[in-house]
Amino acid sequence: MTTLHENRKARHFRAQNNDAFNEKRQHRRYDLGGQTLMINKWDSSRRSAEPLGFLMDLSAGGVRLRINDGDAIKADSQIRVRLELPTYAGICPFVDTTAEQAQPKSEWVGWLAVSRVVKTGDKSADVSGRLVDMDEMDRGMLGLYLSTQPLAA
């Protein structure tokens, strides 16, 4: 009588090289926690901004910010935000392509898709999300701008 374990081929396990464990992020994350850069909640009907929180980490694809009112934002929501970054090393973080000639600019207004809200203290929370409607020109310039900043751990 033949049993199943006799018919099974021997399994060979190969050690995987480090390439299999590479980071799965599409964009590198940069630590901006030491700087006091604000991100604002944008009201397009009044064309005004109110402070939302401070930037902690930023990449060309997403953001992590610290807010004071942790109950104000829920995961799986979208917020219209205004992001303003200073020119650094002669590089502007965004490009205005609405005119005939592309012009440098330091602000971007778009949607933040909130993916995670983690409470960090009594009322404060870290909010993480993706910058969903950024065009590729702005995303590329933001990546170049951030390449001059220190990497996050």
User: Exposure pattern of 29-68 as b/e (b: 16+ CB <10 Å)?
Assistant: bbbbeeeebebbbbeeeeeebeebbbbbbbbbbbbbbbbe
Burial class (CB in 10 A: 0-12, 13-18, 19+), 138: buried
Q: Assign a CATH topology to domain 25-146.
A: Thrombin, subunit H (2.40.10)
Tokens of 135: 């065009």
> Residue 130: which pLDDT band, with cuts at 50, 70 and 90?
very high
Instruction: Determine the pLDDT at residue 15.
Output: 41
pLDDT per position as a tens digit, 36-45: 788 899 987 8
Domain boundaries, given as residue ranges, for the chain: 25-146
pLDDT per position as a tens digit, 54-98: 888 888 888 889 999 888 899 999 999 999 988 887 888 999 988
Instruction: Determine the pLDDT at residue 67.
Output: 92
Average of per-residue pLDDT across 103-122: 92
